[in-house]
Amino acid sequence: MSKYHSQKATYNGITFDSKRERDRYIDLLLLERAGEISELRLQVSFELIPKQAGERSCKYIADFAYTRNGEMIVEDAKGVRTPEYVIKRKLMLWVHGIKVHEV
């Protein structure tokens, strides 16, 4: 059991951190097959702060990224909005101009 009581879940050999994330993946697969979205990717990394002397870079890893109507959409299947997540979500908008959609 995880810190936030989510349970790992699998689908087609892919392990997800939660049932919510797995279920959203299945929904997105159906949308991709229907032609509503394209280029569905999992666990997409975005650099927020580059590596500096003695420090690692700071990254946000999105649960999903895909294209809809020519626009890249970034999603996170959130159960708990931690302070760290909120800061990274705001940095995504500031650094990359991407608003993270929470599902």
Buried b (16+ CB within 10 A) or exposed e, 39-51: ebeeeeebebeee
Q: Per residue in 37-67, pLDDT tens?
A: 999 999 999 999 999 999 999 999 999 999 9
Residue 41 lies in a domain: yes
Residue 27 lies in a domain: yes
Residue 95 lies in a domain: yes
Residue 1 lies in a domain: no
Residue 33 lies in a domain: yes
Residue 2 lies in a domain: no
Average pLDDT over residues 79-83: 90
Structural domain boundaries, residue 94:
9-102
Q: Per residue in 3-26, pLDDT tens?
A: 566 799 999 999 999 999 999 999
Residue 62 lies in a domain: yes
**What's residue 76's pLDDT?**
97
Query: DSSP assignment of 36-76, as one string?
Result: S-EEEEEEEEEEEE--BTTB--EEEEEEEEEEETTEEEEEE
**What's residue 3's pLDDT?**
59
Counted domains in the chain: 1
Residue 88 lies in a domain: yes
